[in-house]
Amino acid sequence: MVRDLISRAQNGEKEARDLLVEANLRLVRSLVSRFSSTSADLEDLYQLGCIGLLKAVDRFDLTYDVRFSTYAVPLILGEIRRHLRDDGPLRVSRGLKQLAGQARKTQEKLTFDLGREPTVGEVASALGVTPEEVVEALDGARAPTSIHQTVHEGDGDPIYLLDQLSSEGDGREGQWVDHVALREGLSQLEPREQRVLLLRFFSDKTQTEVAEMLGCSQVQVSRIERRALEQIRRFMDAS
């Protein structure tokens, strides 16, 4: 039934197209609800989700051995996340945005080809970049989650994400606050400074290795690293 409707819709039959869209509007609503904690207008996201649904109708290959709804989900989410990324509160460089888009498309293709979610290494290999670059791009393009997001609301007071991240007396609250301050400090840096620190302290690269990756001298990397660390230290001291 569904495949027949898709075939007719792709051949230009408006009634079949309308029936397919109507049958999957609950799916779109369900996916849009995932973004209720963002500042974006949910009706706008719903319209974008419908655009993704229409793209799924147009692009679905009837030879695919997969349910239409399964195929449609990443296209619907892709439209929504693209909007959030482009209009989001975080400043992300054009290069990172492009790499994030390529990584998502590669993830979708590999998921279909492999029949499972690909690893970061497999995505990186397909794109010809390092796993660290893929992680950096996807993380930079992801919409932030508010610490005041409601994660549970029963008969009593709502429970916020902040409540689950720390609790009184567990000895971790100070560490958590420092962690948040560090992340905020990192977000104030230029993309080049962020990448240097990511490679140096999260990927365990030497200054010489970072210099080769960035196409500059070890002295320049040292200066960038020192300047970035000083900025973060000043930010954390002021927090």
**Per-domain residue ranges of the chain:** 1-88, 92-145, 159-238
Q: For residue range 44-80, what is the model confidence (pLDDT) as tens digits?
A: 889 999 999 999 898 888 887 778 888 888 889 888 8
* Residue whose C-alpha is closest to residue 40's, from 94, 95, 81: 81
Distances (CA, A) of 215 to 33, 127, 152, 185, 210: 44, 20, 48, 25, 8
pLDDT for residue 124 is more than 70: yes
Mean pLDDT on 83-89 = 63
Give the pTM. 0.40
Q: Which fold has domain 1-88?
A: Four Helix Bundle (Hemerythrin (Met), subunit A) (1.20.120)
CATH architecture of 92-145: Orthogonal Bundle (1.10)
Residue 235's pLDDT is 63
pLDDT for residue 207 is more than 50: yes
Concatenated DSSP letters of 182-239: HHHHHHTS-HHHHHHHIIIIIS---HHHHHHHHTS-HHHHHHHHHHHHHHHHHHHHH-
Fold equal for 1-88 and 92-145: no
Distances (CA, A) of 35 to 163, 204, 216: 20, 34, 40
The CA distance from 51 to 28, in Å, is 10
DSSP-derived 3-state class of residue 216: coil
Q: How many other C-beta atoms lie within 10 A of the C-beta of residue 35?
A: 18
Type of residue numbered 56: A
Mean pLDDT on 79-89 = 70
The CA distance from 203 to 187, in Å, is 18
Residue 97's pLDDT is 73
Q: Which fold has domain 159-238?
A: Arc Repressor Mutant, subunit A (1.10.10)
